[in-house]
């Protein structure tokens, strides 16, 4: 238990975060008035910060079916409160020019990159255990992911075939280092989200997985605050099996 690896991108309030859909960087302010100063550097006796952030677009987060359907399901209900078996894999996205898999709800462009069923099969390599959760690191993998503007530099996304394949394996929790498992411009349909949440429980996006951590099986704890919302900032911690 002392070998846990944090897979999250911090919510940085004084530096640059990743951004998606023109989201603004998280902000922090302090309660300051004539009667009270909630900031020590301004003469107060304690810090009393208030935070504003875009949960889905500026840092690591975990979401449930309440993100796409009016089910009254909250992330504190959907997120497991225990260690779950998990597998970490690294996937090389395929060019849409050579991809023969589906993305039914909107056509993709020849410039797009996709996470395909074919690439997942290759990376998983016949494993059939430790698949309550799957953690997917995409290549290339570099520190730029921690601050990347995904409107200017579009990310890969999953084919429908890939999502259905993961469900067939029994995956309940999908974790990715991408801003979305769907194409950014899919007319707001979020087709892969709808596919996954037929059987899946949570999707975690915008992780950062250091290259020092090798592909392996292990256990995962998805840390989220007890928020009564469809999603929350999260801090997934992976415990690899030696």
pLDDT of residue 4: 96
Residue 242 has pLDDT above 80, yes or no: no
DSSP result, 142-166: -GGGGT-BTTTSPPPEE-HHHHHHH
pLDDT reading at 1 higher than 90: no
**Residue-level pLDDT at 128:** 86
Band (86; pLDDT cuts 50, 70, 90): very high
Q: Is the pLDDT at 215 greater than 80, yes or no?
A: yes
Segment 96-118, tens digit of pLDDT: 998 889 998 888 888 999 999 99
Average pLDDT over residues 41-53: 93
Q: 167 in helix, strand or coil?
A: helix
Determine the pLDDT at residue 13: 87
Nearest of 82, 117, 76 to residue 229 by alpha carbon? 76
Beta strands in 7-109 (DSSP E): 27-30, 49-52, 61-63, 84-91, 94-95
- pLDDT value, residue 105: 82
- Return the half-sphere exposure (C-beta side, CA atoms, 13 A cut-off) of residue 188: 0
Average pLDDT (2-27) is 92
Q: What pLDDT is stored for residue 147 in this prediction?
A: 95
This model's pTM is above 0.85: yes
Q: What is the CATH number of domain 60-240?
A: 3.50.30.50
Look-up of token digits 């309550």: 132
The confidence score (pLDDT) of residue 127 equals 85
Helix axes 117-124, 160-168, angle to 10 degrees: 40
Q: How far is CA 6 from CA 101, 151, 160, 220, 239, in A?
A: 33, 26, 29, 10, 9
Helices then strands, counting H and E runs in the chain, come out as 4, 14
Residue 9 has pLDDT above 90, yes or no: yes
pLDDT digit string, tens, across residues 124-162:
998 889 999 999 999 999 999 999 999 999 999 999 999
CB atoms within 10 A of CB 133: 26
């Amino acid at each position: 238990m002392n070998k846990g690896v944090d897979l999250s991108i911090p919510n940085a309030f004084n530096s640059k975060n990743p951004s998606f859909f023109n989201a603004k960087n998280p902000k922090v302010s302090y309660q300051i008035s004539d009667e009270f100063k909630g900031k020590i550097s301004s003469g107060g006796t304690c810090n009393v910060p208030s935070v504003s952030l875009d949960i889905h677009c500026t840092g690591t987060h975990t979401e449930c079916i309440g993100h796409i359907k009016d089910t009254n399901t909250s992330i504190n209900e959907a997120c497991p409160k225990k260690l779950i078996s998990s597998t970490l894999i690294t996937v090389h996205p395929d060019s849409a020019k050579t991809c023969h898999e589906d993305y039914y709800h909107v056509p993709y462009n020849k410039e797009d990159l996709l996470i395909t069923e074919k690439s997942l099969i290759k990376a998983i390599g016949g494993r059939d255990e430790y698949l309550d959760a799957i953690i997917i690191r995409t290549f290339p993998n570099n520190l730029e992911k921690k601050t990347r503007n995904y409107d200017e530099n579009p990310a890969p996304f999953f084919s429908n075939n890939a999502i259905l394949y993961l469900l067939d394996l029994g995956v309940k929790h999908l974790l990715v280092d991408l801003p979305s498992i769907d194409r950014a411009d899919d007319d707001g349909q979020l087709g892969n989200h709808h596919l996954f949440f037929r059987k899946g429980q949570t999707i975690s996006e915008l992780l950062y997985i250091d290259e020092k951590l090798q592909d392996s099986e292990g256990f995962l704890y998805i840390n989220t605050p007890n928020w009564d919302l469809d999603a929350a900032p999260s801090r997934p911690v992976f415990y690899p099996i030696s």
